[in-house]
Amino acid sequence: MASFLITDVRIFDGENSIDHGSVLVQDGRIAQVSSTQIDHRGTTISKPGHTLLPGLIDVHIHADGGNPVALPQSLRFGVTTVCDMHNEDFNIARLRKQIEGGDCADLKTTSFAATIDMGWPMPIVLMHHDTPEVRAEMATWPRLTTPESGRQYVRDRVAEGVDYIKLMHESGKLLGQTFNKPSLELQTAIIDEAHQHGLKAVAHATCLSDTLEILQCGADGLTHCALDALVTDDVIAAYKRNNAHCNPTLAAMGSLTTEGAALQAKLAHDPRAQALMDDEARGRMCACMAVGKDTGKIQHAYDSVKSLKAAGVPILVGSDAASPAVGTAWGLSMHHELALFVNECGFSPAEALNAATALPAARFGFMDRGRIREGMRADLLLVEGNPVEDVDRTLDIRAVWKEGRLCSVYEGKV
C-alpha cells in the first residue's frame, strides 16, 4: 500500500493541537507524527492553512435495511467509523460485503438490539411503514421475555462478534403513548451478561424516568438525552455511579420536537454539502420526525448536556442518522451535532472535536483509532481553515482517508 506525507498542516490529534506539523502514513497506518519536518522521498502533500483531524466517529447511526448509501455518504463527510445501534444480522453482513469494495466508513455494530414484542421501535416503525417487507424484517428481531432469554440474546451477539450491546428502554411517554417496555429484571440480566463478556451496554431512552431506570439497571451509556424534563441530581448521580456516558443526539432530538427544522434546512442547503449527498438525502434532512413536539423541548436536552458535562459525565457526538429518522443525514448530521455542542451546550470546538474522535474511541474500546498517533489507523480528515477556532470549518472538507486510502470523491483534488 502507498505511503505518503502530509505536511505544513495544523494537527488536531484527538485531544491537542500542533500548530505546524507533519504526518507520515505507511501501509494504512500512521507511521510518524512530528512538529518538525519528516524526511520522506515519496508523495508529499503540503497544505498550509489546513487542519488534519482524526476521522470522525459517529457513535449512533442505523444503516436501516442495509442501505448502501449510509457508509459511503458517511465517509464523504469525514466520518470514518459509524456505530450501528440496531440492525438485522443479514443487513450487517450485506454492509460488511459493501465495505470490502472500498469507499465506505468502517462499521461497528450491536447487530440486533435487545427488542421485545411490540416494544421500541416496533410500534413507531409500523406507524410509518406497515408493509409486508417491513413486517418480514421485523419478524427476525429478538422478542425477549425472561432474564434468561436476555442472557441468551447476549451470548448470540457475542457469537456474532458484535462490538457492544444496545438496549431499548422506551415507555412511549415522549410520544404521548404507551409501548411495551422491557422489565427491569430483563434489562439488568442483559447488562450483566454483556459485562461478563467484556461488552459495554448502551441504552435508548428519551424521557427522564426511563433514563433513570435504565441507569439503575447498570447501563454504560445513553444513546439520547431526555427531552421531557431537565436532568435531575439523581439522574446525574446515576450516570456518575455507572461511569456512564451520554450521546445526546441533539440534531435528531430537534427533529423530534421540530425545533431543529431551521438548522436542518440550512445545513441541507449548505453549498459545501451539495456534492456529497443526493436530492433524496437533502429532502429527508429538511423534514422533521415531529413525534415529540407536544411533550419535548430541545432546550431541556441542551441544558441537561451542560449539567452533565459540568458534573464530569462524558458526552459523545453521534447523530442517530437513519433514513426513517428524517431531519438527519449520514455524515452531515455529525457536523450539525458538532455545531450544536459548541453553539448550544458550551463546548469549546476542541472539546466537541474530542467528543467526536478520541473520546468515543476510548469509551467503546476502539483502541486503533480516534487519534493521530503512531500506530493508529490512518483514518484522517483534512479541512481547510482551523476548526479548533471555528467548528463550522469541519465542513470545508478537502480530503478523507480511511486506512490511508483516499475517499474517491477527493481524488485528484488534494
Positions in the binding site for Zn ion (CB under 5 A): 85, 320
The CB-of-203 to Zn ion minimum distance in angstroms stands at 11
What nine digits make up the cell of 48? 498550509
Q: Identify which of residues 258 and 323 has a Cβ nearer to Zn ion in the complex.
A: 323
For helices 208-216 and 184-196, the axis angle rounded to 10 degrees is: 50
8 A C-beta contact, residue 5 and residue 44: yes
Q: Identify which of residues 259 and 320 has a Cβ nearer to Zn ion in the complex.
A: 320
What does the CA dihedral 100, 105, 111, 116 come to, rounded to 10 degrees?
-150
What are the angstrom distances between the C-alpha of 275 and each of 68, 281, 356?
17, 12, 23
The CB-of-60 to Zn ion minimum distance in angstroms stands at 6
Beta-bridge mates of residue 381:
53, 400
What is the number of the residue whose Cβ is closest to Zn ion? 320
The CB-of-85 to Zn ion minimum distance in angstroms stands at 5
Q: Identify which of residues 168 and 359 has a Cβ nearer to Zn ion in the complex.
A: 168
The CB-of-53 to Zn ion minimum distance in angstroms stands at 25
The CA distance from 354 to 333, in Å, is 17
Location of C-alpha cell 411495551: 180
8 A C-beta contact, residue 24 and residue 373: no
8 A C-beta contact, residue 282 and residue 310: no
The CB-of-411 to Zn ion minimum distance in angstroms stands at 33
Q: Identify which of residues 47 and 181 has a Cβ nearer to Zn ion in the complex.
A: 181
The CB-of-84 to Zn ion minimum distance in angstroms stands at 9
Q: Identify which of residues 166 and 309 has a Cβ nearer to Zn ion in the complex.
A: 166
Residues 6+ apart with CB under 8 A from 237: none
Q: Identify which of residues 85 and 208 has a Cβ nearer to Zn ion in the complex.
A: 85
Instruction: Write the DSSP symbol of residue 341.
Output: H
Residues 6+ apart with CB under 8 A from 310: none
The CB-of-309 to Zn ion minimum distance in angstroms stands at 22
The CA distance from 369 to 357, in Å, is 8
Rg for the chain, CA atoms, rounded: 20
Q: Identify which of residues 85 and 244 has a Cβ nearer to Zn ion in the complex.
A: 85
